[in-house]
Chain A
């Protein structure tokens, strides 16, 4: 009996030696952490956060602006070395304009880089509402970070990526976390440190965040924080090429009233069609499907950033002919033609060039006018007028 008692005491001591000194459960540790950060109630009042300060990368210091908005909307505009880099996440699409990739326009962030970005998008620390977010947290006892005693927590995200978090056993604030980092898409162990916790409007947050991985070193030093500042959702959206944003209101279901004629002297004929316009490639391409009495047409609108021109391609199952048009968007009117692209329709012994105009863009509708030329673009006549009205339930 005495041996059993001794065994139990010894076992108990062994367990205690690997558990936090406080003997707390994981929920108790998290509760203390949330309280230390200002508390759940205070944080739930915060809907946006804007932070500005300096960002050090490649040993060079530059400014940064960070925007956060619920839920998990994230935008960071900063300078890495001497190259500006913009990173965004609208809750669904992760993107960056990253000159270190040699490309000066927005690209989707994918794969490992996206997974690494997801480590940064939590509005608060990841332990707030961790169960609702699908994060699993396991208490792993005590550890040491560069000589400082810490409570060690393992956090597993829904994509099974694992992070090891270290909290100060006295304050329960974050000291550091270890996770997978990315160096140009190559996995590298990364450690992130948190320091200089300050209270802003009742919310406690680190004002110095330092990351190290591979040979890299980044420091974000926050100088000013604004809570609940007005932040437009557009900040988080992936920037589109050219003025493609101006055409995003065309997305949706449309009733189309069409007036058309075969020649300048012919009378106008009216008809009704339906149209569906969808975003592709995060809005970089708008695709329209038109139907009328079994007749179908496909039309797409893109922006060619190299030629700095808009391009419309359209294909009907009546002709089977793919028409390419290019043009400019000026004063709220997009005008394209196929004269320079060389894709006219040929029939009846004539060559028919076309010029399209899209205008009067609004949330409820827009208009498309098609002009025809039979003399190579010298003279044009309006051949059809389409008025789009948004389908309402």
Chain B
């Protein structure tokens, strides 16, 4: 099938992509690393090649499995270590068990005490999955749809930046997890905790740590000195913190921080000054915006929000934002799409779809993954269904082409895969697993 995308468009995308890589966050990490939420460039795309083109029966080779506590925090990888967050599950102590193990004459009822549980940031050996260190960040969040931390660690040099579900922004030493500084978002910015917990993943931009601080009165977003945690600037009106994460890109030769929150798609500079904004429907936009070099942004939100492609036009000091198209064909909920070769691949609620970047028209759709998540690597989509089925799909607009599958995990899986050094890392609420995608 002939691609619907004009050739000129491809050149456009490639040249822009090259430009956007310069100075990207995490660039000082190893090239095979995945040092933050959605990878080096926060686009869900691995630049690795040489991965298995198709999988054998039973899936790729499993390397290890590691028990893990609750949480939706994704796995970051840097310098042979994995970083993620989890909550320690409460001890399941029954009255009978307590009575059996009671060493003294205490009544059984008194022996059964609720165990305080904690959210941790932790590092693991990427080769074995063994835990190297863990540091308590805050109290475990408990919700109807799963407990534990949501935010993904950001690794930058010898530091790891994490955010607890109750708003504890913490800088840790990557070597041993020692705390360097901590800022409580609810106190520093007057932020009310989002109902489902703080979920945004902090972004490193040079010496800044940028985060949705979620506070009122011009404190919607904040730039902190990453070395000290000192607040350098705050910006943006808004009354609440969302669940999306920011993106850093080079646009018109300048670094821009792009994010969606409080009814606007917005770009600021690294000093927190607004460069442009575009009205964005109030509602559930948890997915990250995606940059399509050199001058377009795609964003999507659930149900009534839908999707839109906007073009940023620069004319001297003047910047205008024009909507190229919008529709309700792609309604990302909590899983962000990826863009490859002129097509958007993502979850329209619980249907995996492929859309043309140029027109927004649907090329194909496939159900069967529930509210899954995906990344891209070496010509393929790696899709994890919400029930733990891992599927390799050819990334093509020509139609749905499955190249391999394996039941990787059981139970609820809402965390997107991570790929680094040819190794795939997945997690759910109880364990973490690694596959070798090279052999």
Residue of B nearest to A147 (CB): B364
Instruction: For residue B59, give the distance in angstroms from its CB to the closest CB of chain A.
Output: 21
Contact B367 A210 (CB under 8 A): yes
Interface residue tally for chain B (C-beta within 8 Å): 21
Known contacts A56-B387, A59-B386; A217/B365 CB under 8 A: no
Inter-chain contacts of A213 with B (CB < 8 A): 303
Contacting residues of chain B (102-149) with chain A, CB-CB under 8 angstroms? 144-145
Contact A214 B144 (CB under 8 A): no
A57-83 CB mask vs B (1 if < 8 Å, else 0) is 011110000000000000000000111
**Within the complex, which residue of B284, B351, B387 is in contact with A61, where a contact is CB–CB below 8 Å?**
B387
Distance, CA A213 to CA B303, complexed state (A): 8
> Does A49 sit within 8 A of B, measured CB to CB?
no
Contacting residues of chain B (225-265) with chain A, CB-CB under 8 angstroms? none
Contact A81 B364 (CB under 8 A): no
Contact A59 B367 (CB under 8 A): no
> Does A215 sit within 8 A of B, measured CB to CB?
yes
**Within the complex, which residue of B145, B371, B411 is in contact with A217, where a contact is CB–CB below 8 Å?**
B371
Inter-chain contacts of B387 with A (CB < 8 A): 56, 59, 61
Inter-chain contacts of B349 with A (CB < 8 A): 212, 214-217
Contact A59 B370 (CB under 8 A): yes
Contact A81 B365 (CB under 8 A): no
Contacting residues of chain B (296-354) with chain A, CB-CB under 8 angstroms? 302-303, 333, 349-351
Inter-chain contacts of B350 with A (CB < 8 A): 210, 212, 217
Contact B303 A193 (CB under 8 A): no
**Within the complex, which residue of B144, B284, B370 is in contact with A81, where a contact is CB–CB below 8 Å?**
B144
Contact A219 B370 (CB under 8 A): yes
> Does A146 sit within 8 A of B, measured CB to CB?
yes
Contact A193 B367 (CB under 8 A): yes
Distance, CA A147 to CA B144, complexed state (A): 36
Instruction: For residue B396, give the distance in angstroms from its CB to the closest CB of chain A.
Output: 14
Contacting residues of chain A (195-243) with chain B, CB-CB under 8 angstroms? 210, 212-217, 219
Known contacts A214-B303, A215-B284, A217-B370; A146/B365 CB under 8 A: yes
Secondary structure of the A contact surface, majority rule: strand
> Does A357 sit within 8 A of B, measured CB to CB?
no
Contacting residues of chain B (260-293) with chain A, CB-CB under 8 angstroms? 284
Inter-chain residue pair count (beta carbon < 8 A): 47
**Within the complex, which residue of B302, B303, B412 is in contact with A60, where a contact is CB–CB below 8 Å?**
B412
Instruction: For residue B345, give the distance in angstroms from its CB to the closest CB of chain A.
Output: 15
**Within the complex, which residue of A56, A82, A193 is in contact with B370, where a contact is CB–CB below 8 Å?**
A56
Inter-chain contacts of B303 with A (CB < 8 A): 188, 213-215
Contact B412 A59 (CB under 8 A): yes
Inter-chain contacts of B333 with A (CB < 8 A): 215
Distance, CA A214 to CA B284, complexed state (A): 10
Inter-chain contacts of A188 with B (CB < 8 A): 303
Inter-chain contacts of A147 with B (CB < 8 A): 364-365
Distance, CA A82 to CA B146, complexed state (A): 10
Distance, CA A213 to CA B348, complexed state (A): 11
Contact A214 B302 (CB under 8 A): yes
Inter-chain contacts of B367 with A (CB < 8 A): 146, 193, 210
> Does B413 sit within 8 A of A, measured CB to CB?
yes
Inter-chain contacts of A82 with B (CB < 8 A): 144
Residue of B nearest to A219 (CB): B370
Known contacts A59-B414, A61-B387, A215-B302; A146/B370 CB under 8 A: no
Distance, CA A216 to CA B386, complexed state (A): 13
Inter-chain contacts of A219 with B (CB < 8 A): 370
Inter-chain contacts of A60 with B (CB < 8 A): 411-412
Residue of B nearest to A210 (CB): B367
Instruction: For residue B53, give the distance in angstroms from its CB to the closest CB of chain A.
Output: 25
Inter-chain contacts of A215 with B (CB < 8 A): 284, 302-303, 333, 349
Instruction: For residue B156, give the distance in angstroms from its CB to the closest CB of chain A.
Output: 32
Distance, CA A188 to CA B304, complexed state (A): 9
Instruction: For residue B254, give the distance in angstroms from its CB to the closest CB of chain A.
Output: 36
Distance, CA A82 to CA B366, complexed state (A): 27
Distance, CA A137 to CA B191, complexed state (A): 53
B350-383 CB mask vs A (1 if < 8 Å, else 0) is 1100000000000011110011000000000000
Q: List 16 A-B contacts (CB under 8 A).
A: A56-B370, A58-B145, A58-B412, A59-B371, A60-B411, A146-B366, A188-B303, A193-B367, A212-B349, A212-B350, A212-B351, A215-B284, A215-B333, A217-B349, A217-B350, A217-B371
Q: Which 8 A-B pairs have the closest CB atoms?
A: A59-B386, A217-B350, A146-B365, A59-B412, A215-B302, A214-B303, A215-B333, A212-B349
B-side residues, CB < 8 A to A, are: 144-145, 284, 302-303, 333, 349-351, 364-367, 370-371, 386-387, 411-414
9 new A-B contacts, CB < 8 A, other than A59-B413, A212-B349, are A56-B387, A59-B370, A59-B412, A60-B411, A215-B303, A215-B349, A217-B350, A217-B371, A219-B370
